Structure 1
């Protein structure tokens, strides 16, 4: 499919971010805006197709960037039949990391599991970094320099992104470094800050965090309905962790098996309107499960929790209108958010969190129960 800027670009306002005042929200990506999962995965396949036939005979390693490009990278690697790993901001026990940073982000620390790169670097001819958008390329250049310094061998690099907003200055740097760029849509970011500034940012923001059993702006009767028992947590074995090196086809097989089990365990019925929610970096398994549920004749939407604190606004053309502030399922001390929850026949929450603390899950269920009653929680382990 031939995508255009109007398909993939909505401008939102970042909250409390002095480095960059705007955020590009992609309505088809399955992160912030609820989307039909097949549309998101088809978008990611279209990006992969830009690479097909380009690097014949080369052994590729695709690296997807946390958190928003984890599913893009996974689907691209699956489409191309390559090896895959994602960057992460989570703590993985008993490993060493390559650290680098994302300067404009609200959560700057990015890392790759060095142990896994050590293991595969001599079997890799080219590393392809996969992003949702590239604006300067500085973050990717940081990790390229680190890899070159660490491994002292000739490795080629490329970048694949849904959007590319690099100016000629940055494009020239990449040309000089012989780093190839692939993308679906070229964007010009010069007017985005002005667009973001014009919005009222008067949308509804709800703190779904219980403090001393009180909740501002919510009636006691609603609290009693929402703060009751958590749904039964369905634990499904067979987890493949894409924060570690995986064969993409094997990862797809594991995710499809997960999807089949989710459909069986939740008794999803044809004709239902279903929401499938991923958690932070755990996006691809939720999107694939959503797509499999679509195939049985359901109207499905997917999006996920995120670290991104984005302002919400009532204007119709603004991409996000209602925000729920949560605790992370991975770290209860970390704030996360989910946007524009609606009413569905069935909601399926999917996570690979160990759920060592249930505080984060409680806040997500709290938010969901404002409009939904039939909620299932899937933990892949």
Structure 2
């Protein structure tokens, strides 16, 4: 999107992608849309476009301070409703965003009770799983674990308000599927709030959410509008993006949100202080999360940013995206969770940063070393919030 001051041009966009024609009408937030998002083409037969967020820390390198500011803005959209509240972040793309919104809400409401939990495509432990579908996704099966801790489970089962967080809303179908699953578990849910960076459902569909959901629904988004997409004659490459095995241990951790959290994660300040002492002041540093493990990278990145380093945060993903538009570089590497699904990192090239730090929750393995080897990166295994071990790359 090209910068312009013409309100009419700001409100209307037409983007010709290799996969089709995307047309947008922006109702709110048009003036900052260029700062918040770009457009990319998915290598996905179900949906050929991507609203690529520049402040999410997933497909685009984002400054930690900018990400935290977005978290605070979205947390401020949550209504002052009766609690307890349950914040659910959508895997994989919005896990870090949802955790950040939850933590921003906690900071703004000291003493209030809330639960954070994120959906996942991996099993943790042996407890019950709730399954729902993200139909347009490259990997459509999603799961929500029931917390094992009795107090956290009581929060989920006693919630009055669901706060569902994703980077974008386009149809509302995934939110509805998850809400229905949660209401079967907890019929006492009285309200849903949707928090997204962009909402492209359109005014009419947004106004009709309460009727679709069968209970009051509010929406908080930084950019709102409506889209139309006309697919081109593009054939997406065949490939499996999900091989869920309920009995397989993929090395996903229970400590960072899959089984629920009621407090903010602590930043690894000792690690940040040590690394900052090794780096030149103002050095360019990329701090990368891996797959669903995102928020710890932001916390480390922010701690380094506070020490005078020029930091960007982003994460690897299983989503295949074409090198076009808002994606000018792509690297592929093996899956460190062991599903045998290709993973990618976008918009980061070897030699672009002075230092690259990869944060991961899985045990060290050949896939992680291959990833680090492509970028000349260092590996940091987070076994808990503050128990972080640097792993030799060779």
Tell me if 1:4 matches 2:32: yes
Q: Aligned partners of 1:98, 1:280: CA distance in 2, in Å?
A: 21
**Unpaired runs of at least 5, structure 1:** 202-237, 370-374
Residue of structure 1 in register with 2:67 after alignment: 40
Q: Is the 8 A contact 2:159 2:188 kept in 1?
A: no
Q: Report matched runs for 1:274-293 at 5 Å.
A: 274-293=285-304
SS of match in other structure, 1:92: coil
- The separation in 2 between residues aligned to 1:140 and 1:63, in whole angstroms, is 10
| Stretches of structure 2 lacking an aligned partner (at least 5 in a row) | 1-28, 107-113, 237-252, 384-394
Deviation at 1:111, TM superposition (A): 0.8
Contact 1:262 1:378 in 2 (8 A): no
Following the alignment from structure 2 to structure 1, what is the Cα–Cα distance between the partners of residues 310 and 189? 48
Query: 1:188 corresponds to which residue?
Result: 226
TM-score (norm 2): 0.75
Question: Which residue, 104, 107, 128 being the options, matches 2:163?
Answer: 128
1 CA distance for matches of 2:182 and 2:63? 37
Moved more, 111-120 or 303-312: 111-120
Secondary structure of the residue that 2:99 maps to in structure 1?
helix
TM-score (norm 1): 0.78
Deviation at 1:56, TM superposition (A): 4.5
Aligned match of 2:120? 88
Higher RCO (C-alpha under 8 Å, 6+ residues apart): 1
Q: Confirm or deny: 8 A CA contact 1:330 1:354 kept in the other structure.
A: no
Task: Tell me the SS of whatever aligns to 2:368.
Answer: helix
Q: Distance in 2 between matches of 1:259 and 1:136?
A: 40
Show CA shifts across 1:327-370 (max 9, x none): 12112512110012242221111111123xx121122123213x
Match of 1:70 among 95, 100, 103: 95
Name whichever structure is richer in helix by fraction: 1
Structure 2 SS opposite 1:187: strand
| 1:109 and 2:141 matched | yes
CA RMSD, Structure 1 to Structure 2 (Å): 2.5
* Residues 273-308 of structure 1: CA deviation (Å, up to 9, x unaligned): 111111111111101211110111111111110011
In structure 2, what is the equivalent of residue 223 of structure 1? none
Match of 1:366? 373
Does structure 2 conserve the Cα–Cα contact (< 8 Å) formed by 1:266 and 1:376?
Answer: no
Map of 1:292-307 to 2, 5 A cutoff? 292-307=303-318
SS in 2 for 1:145: helix
Confirm or deny: 8 A CA contact 1:272 1:299 kept in the other structure. Answer: yes
1:261 aligns with 2:290: no
Partners of 1:11 and 1:294 in 2: CA distance? 27
User: Are 1:28 and 1:40, in contact at CA under 8 Å, matched by a contact in 2?
Assistant: yes
Contact 1:5–1:187 (CA<8 Å) still a contact in 2?
Answer: no
C-alpha distance in 1 between matches for 2:230 and 2:316 = 25
* Partner of residue 255, structure 2: 240
Whole-angstrom distance in 2 between the partners of 1:276 and 1:175: 40
